[in-house]
Amino acid sequence: MTSWYQLRVRHRTMLTNLIQQGLLDSSYPAHVDAHPGDRVLSHQMMEELFGTAQLALSEMMWTVFNFGPINKTKMGNQLALIRGPSQYVGTPRVTNACLSLHAAYIENDRKRTIHCIMALRREINFVRPHLQALMELERAIWAASWF
């Protein structure tokens, strides 16, 4: 069993690497050092991001492929399901992809909107394993602190 101190050192190293790679912004460590309820909320937001993202992206793609102008209200509602948790957690790559997508569908540029949806899907799929590893390490730290 790994000691609490060793887990914390691994955690700090992982956080530093994720921040340097642009996968997390520098505000995330504040979530870790915050009240335990805030840490649980961060994990819930990450799970919500991963849980709703694929469905929201599929819905957005379906909305874009309908004929006529893009339904901006429906697109905005689906995008909020992704952008809200990504901004709370602090994933700048996902948040920036959301902003690009928002600009594309507001301009009613169907081709660019499709490209942005695909780029957002790639960013979420790239960030997911890193954040899941971070959550597992944080859970191990919490478990080790109870013993």
- Of the two residues 2 and 25, the one the predictor is more confident about is 25
Whole-number pLDDT of residue 33: 61
**Which of the four pLDDT bands, split at 50, 70 and 90, describes residue 133?**
very high
Q: Taking a C-beta distance cutoff of 8 angstroms, is the pair 48, 112 a contact? A: no
Residue 112, CA distances (Å) to 74, 75, 119 in order? 17, 14, 10
13-50 pLDDT tens trace: 998 999 999 888 887 765 556 556 666 777 888 888 88
Is residue 10 classed exposed, middle or buried when 0-12, 13-18 and 19+ CB atoms within 10 A define those classes? middle
d(CA 97, CA 78): 14
88-130 pLDDT tens trace: 788 899 999 999 999 999 999 999 999 999 999 999 999 999 9
Domains of the chain, start order: 4-145 (1.20.120.160)
Closest CA to 55 of 135, 130, 124: 124
Whole-number pLDDT of residue 65: 86
54-85 pLDDT tens trace: 899 999 999 998 877 889 999 999 999 999 88
d(CA 98, CA 120): 7
Whole-number pLDDT of residue 121: 95
Q: What's the predicted TM-score (pTM) here?
A: 0.85
Q: Average of pLDDT values for 6-13?
A: 90
Whole-number pLDDT of residue 41: 76
